[in-house]
Structure 1
Amino acid sequence: MSTNHAKALLEIDQLSIQFGEKTAVDALSLSLQAGERLALVGESGSGKSVTALAILRLLNAARVQGQIRFAGDNLNAKSERQMQAIRGADISMVFQEPMTALNPVYTIGRQIAESISLHQGVHPRAARPRVIELLEQVGIDDAARRSYAYPHQLSGGQRQRAVIAMALACRPRLLLADEPTTALDVTLRRQIIDLLLDVQKQQANGQNMAILLITHDLGLVRHFAQRVAVMEHGRLVEVAPVEALFTAPQHPYTRKLLASTPRREVRPVAADAPVLLQARGVAVDYPVPGKGLAALVRPATRLRALDGIDLDLRAGETLGIVGESGSGKSTLAAALLGLQRTSAGEIRVFGRPRSDYARRERRALSARIQAVFQDPFSSLSPRQTVEQIVGEGVALHQRHFDADARCQLVLQALAEVGLPADAAGRFPHEFSGGQRQRIAIARALILQPAIVILDEPTSALDVSIQQQILQLLTDLQQRHGFAYVLISHDIAVVRALAHRVLVTCHGRIVEHGEVSAILTAPSHGYTKKLIESV
């Protein structure tokens, strides 16, 4: 595409990036005007994040060719010291996972003050008013007190806001936002995007801040961006204004992305399907220790994470559980799996109270209730091969199988989730995100469980891979009669896969019923807010 060299703030000209023999970005040319919001979209591995890292010169192990000009200056020609002065001051970046972007041993306030101190020569103490101003600007309540909090003491949404505050500390002219909302629920996602729209209006050296948004969330792109650039296998395949791209996409790959919205293909649950899992009046409390000397003389208070939860799950059914972060979804999943002690109520599994199962029976029970977690990379051991990972449950629960028989079961499970036989000898880091999630599903289904807990199984995946995983889960349910508990903040995923849905807020169920009725005509204000945030 043509670029206007007189006006463009960022110009990328014939950028190519190689890691060994692999080309991650191939002859990319793109421009970004001052004050513009440009979305860079594509599937995992398309080169989006690598391009952002190349702009900041953070790819030490790669061979980079081409030119990247910022405000007319060639960044590739600058020294490392000159780049250090640019990073965080003129060009800032917001990363996908705030817990990896924040230092766990320093307070939020100290980390923001450090950026101001490094680039503006201000003593960290003198930077404190600016730190509080930034935290207030990004919508963190009680900013003065929160500035003394460590990252683990904040929620996911608060941590992402703190990372944005750090990126805005020196009023950059360009903000690179790499999947800034992927791990957040729908209301937080909307809040973060609205926040970026608000802070963009602030003046940076007389110009509005430009934002390069890297994402696979097409709904977010339509709400946020002015222009969209689409990448496939490292190449730029289409650039267009946002409305033009969504209404009349030109490239087949763009049309494929837009058609990758979750589709509903579930079958009705049999009228005589037995109830496999029940919860009645389930409550979970967490101790909250006091602060300072009071913690030595006063007992810890109790925080009620779940309060009076009732649910039923039948064979072949998918029960969706939706709610914001902190609403108790994952705590409920842990309680249903027997990994969280309940404070009140009863959980019945296959007709018996869980508490009635003897220790030996509980081990056998765990084979019949499996889980697939949100992040397959952290839930798969990096030191084990796929064969060891998938076959571990068989080795533990079905010891009568010898090594050859266990290997055959692993190969069958891999084939069922669409992975080739040679995947068995490889390690998790050799696979894409979607392939790793297939491995996690194979690990769960190899034991032929009756119940599978799906805790945000697609939130870290791009739209086309997400659709593939949902189709796989639907096919497996229809083939084997699995019952799913689907925990998700993605309304589209719940609509595509669930039969019934429970809406949780502050540990309580505020609405429940058939998925079509709840998501089409919600009666509770909280449910309406969730759906409006999509």
Structure 2
Amino acid sequence: MTELLKAQQLAVPGIVRPLSFTLTAGRPLTLLGETGSGKSLIAQAIMGNLPAGLQARGRLWLRGEELSGLAPAARRRLWGRKLAMLPQEPWLALDPTMKAVEQVAEGYRYLANKDWPQARQLAGEDLNRLGLGHALDRLPGQLSGGMMQRLAFAAASTGGADIVIADEPTKGLDAGSRDQVTGLLRQVAEAGGGLLTITHDIAVARQLGGEVMIVRNGEVLESGPAEEVLKAPVSDYGRALLAAEPDAWPALAPAGPGARVLKVAGLAKSRGGLSLFSDVSFELNAGEIMGVVGPSGCGKSTLGSICLGVLEPDAGTVWRDASLPRTRYQKLYQDPPAAFAPYCSLGQSLRDLVRLHKKDWAEVQRLLPRLGLSADLLERLPREVSGGELQRLAILRILLLEPVLLFADEPTSRLDLVTQQQTIKLLTDLARERGCALLLVSHEAALVNKVADRVLTLGESTATTSGAA
């Protein structure tokens, strides 16, 4: 098989230990591991865009040509043309002021040298194929997280690069959209290209096939054909990953009686002339967990914003306990970078909250280890930690405000399976212990069915409620 990309003793000192691998034409390679294990830094080391202060060691070859000594400008000229990278946080890679079709057309115009009419035509075809034909003229802020991920995929694919590095490409997507994007990635390899995928989603690794490397704490624990490694891993961590898939979780004990904290009746909301949902009614009591499921773009996040009073419904009513401060009704964001000041250290953000709301810093110190977080992270900026670490810090900050209702919008979409299980257990335990109602959005039906007392399903402008399986 043709060797496309080769890494020899590639490392980021202090974070990623030396590792070697070869990416061959037509054979996908997937790096699978826990959040914060350095997987994304491996991708950035290959692309040559590591964060300031970090430097790669080791050697890299692209089609036999060594990249290690190339100047940064020469390395950047490969982007999109020889090497394409799908980002972990799509909303950070997209221009918030540019319509979706223009973001993709721009790549065709300047990377593929198409004229503007042809570039826009190709962009429209790509977005239609990805199920975004209705969103050509929308801005990124008008798209769901899953829709933004698909838009970023389209934009990154315009330059014709046949080697694709995909960093958590299906994060935040429902199962159908995840399978669609995974299928598109697989086509890269099937066409004879190279595909290096970084993920914590075992389902993605299984669907892609090829080779798998399980990575933890910057170290490769095992590697081999996907069908062998994912069926019978030999490392303790590999076995723990399989055991942490939601289907294997024990079911949560039923909620006890609690005071009402939220009641909605007859809610309806449209966007862009299209109905998202209508006639949504339910009540939530203290300590109760309701799952909210449905495809990307069906209005799950919008429903939560209405429940919190951030958005007004087109029809219907929302009751919240008026005797409580609004800060007791909280949202855990799907995209944690949006919840933190980018140039303020994480510790300073938490200290500001503690001071403003007269909380106890000792609670921060108690929650850090319970969330699997090191106190050293508090000295860093948001961009200097992994997406999963940032999500857990967002959970910590929310818990300091002692919410009576927490709308958790895909709270584990950035976490590996082991950390996901730990984090969901923490959220559900705290909901029960503290009497906090939890409105939990997830694309994973198996996860919701294990932990929710009831499930609200949105889709096609309708809503249905059922008890969890």
TM-score band w.r.t. shorter chain: 0.7 to 0.9
| Partner Cα separation in structure 2 for residue 438 and residue 214 of structure 1 | 20
> Bigger CA drift: 411-420 or 88-97?
411-420
**Residues 172 and 443 in structure 2, CA contact (< 8 A), matched pair in contact too:** no
Q: CA deviation at 1:504?
A: 0.7
| Partner Cα separation in structure 2 for residue 70 and residue 462 of structure 1 | 30
| Partner Cα separation in structure 1 for residue 371 and residue 111 of structure 2 | 50
Q: Does 1:472 align with 2:426?
A: yes
| Partner Cα separation in structure 1 for residue 46 and residue 313 of structure 2 | 50
Q: Deviations over 1:408-437 (max 9, x none)?
A: 664576379457996797566476555544
Q: Does 1:309 align with 2:291?
A: no
User: Which residue of the other structure, out of 148, 167, 181, is the alignment partner of 2:156?
Assistant: 167
| Partner Cα separation in structure 1 for residue 60 and residue 169 of structure 2 | 23
Secondary structure of 1:76 counterpart: coil
The 1:129/1:216 distance shift into structure 2, 3 A limit, reads same
Aligned twin of 1:279: 264
| Partner Cα separation in structure 1 for residue 42 and residue 23 of structure 2 | 13
Aligned twin of 2:338: 378
Q: Deviations over 1:58-84 (max 9, x none)?
A: 236433222111211111134445434
For 1:514, the aligned partner's letter is: G
For 1:339, the aligned partner's letter is: V
For 2:21, the aligned partner's letter is: L
Equivalent positions of 1:510-525 (< 5 A) are 511-516=464-469
Q: Deviations over 1:131-167 (max 9, x none)?
A: 455455555537xx93x66544655445434433333
Highest CA radius of gyration, 1 or 2?
Answer: 1
Q: Does 1:30 align with 2:21?
A: yes
| Partner Cα separation in structure 2 for residue 229 and residue 421 of structure 1 | 26
Q: Does 1:217 align with 2:201?
A: yes
Q: Deviations over 1:248-296 (max 9, x none)?
A: 11122222222222423522123x544432222122355x5xxxxxxxx
TM-score, normalised relative to structure 1: 0.76
Equivalent positions of 1:161-240 (< 5 A) are 161-202=150-191, 208-240=192-224
| Partner Cα separation in structure 2 for residue 239 and residue 179 of structure 1 | 19
| Partner Cα separation in structure 2 for residue 155 and residue 316 of structure 1 | 28
Aligned twin of 1:67: 59
> Bigger CA drift: 260-269 or 186-195?
260-269
| Partner Cα separation in structure 1 for residue 149 and residue 460 of structure 2 | 21
**Residues 411 and 421 in structure 1, CA contact (< 8 A), matched pair in contact too:** no
Equivalent positions of 1:145-160 (< 5 A) are 146=136, 150-152=139-141, 156-160=145-149
Aligned twin of 1:267: 253
| Partner Cα separation in structure 2 for residue 69 and residue 412 of structure 1 | 45
For 2:314, the aligned partner's letter is: S
| Partner Cα separation in structure 2 for residue 500 and residue 69 of structure 1 | 52
Return 5+ residue gaps in structure 2 as ranges.
Answer: none
| Partner Cα separation in structure 2 for residue 321 and residue 179 of structure 1 | 23
Equivalent positions of 1:70-81 (< 5 A) are 70-80=62-72
Q: Does 1:502 align with 2:462?
A: no
Q: Does 1:17 align with 2:16?
A: no
For 2:278, the aligned partner's letter is: D
Number of positions where the alignment pairs a residue of Structure 1 with one of Structure 2: 462
Q: Does 1:57 align with 2:52?
A: no
The 1:241/1:457 distance shift into structure 2, 3 A limit, reads same
Secondary structure of 1:54 counterpart: helix
Aligned twin of 2:351: 388
Q: Deviations over 1:319-366 (max 9, x none)?
A: 11111222121121112112222332222335xxxxxx5xxx4xx342
Q: Deviations over 1:370-400 (max 9, x none)?
A: 33333334324453625425525633xxxxx
Aligned twin of 1:459: 413
Q: Percent identity?
A: 33
**Residues 19 and 220 in structure 2, CA contact (< 8 A), matched pair in contact too:** yes
Q: CA deviation at 1:30?
A: 0.5
**Residues 284 and 304 in structure 1, CA contact (< 8 A), matched pair in contact too:** yes
Aligned twin of 2:313: 342
Secondary structure of 2:269 counterpart: strand
Return 5+ residue gaps in structure 1 as ranges.
Answer: 1-5, 203-207, 289-301, 351-356, 396-405, 517-534
The 1:38/1:17 distance shift into structure 2, 3 A limit, reads same
User: Which residue of the other structure, out of 206, 221, 228, is the alignment partner of 1:244?
Assistant: 228
Higher relative contact order (CA 8 A, sep 6+): 2
TM-score, normalised relative to structure 2: 0.86
Secondary structure of 1:247 counterpart: coil
Q: CA deviation at 1:222?
A: 0.8
For 1:64, the aligned partner's letter is: A
Q: Deviations over 1:37-63 (max 9, x none)?
A: 111111222221221222222236433
The 1:81/1:422 distance shift into structure 2, 3 A limit, reads closer
Aligned twin of 2:83: 91
The 1:141/1:425 distance shift into structure 2, 3 A limit, reads closer
User: Which residue of the other structure, out of 133, 137, 142, is the alignment partner of 1:141?
Assistant: 133
- Over aligned residues, Cα RMSD in angstroms? 3.3
Aligned twin of 1:47: 38
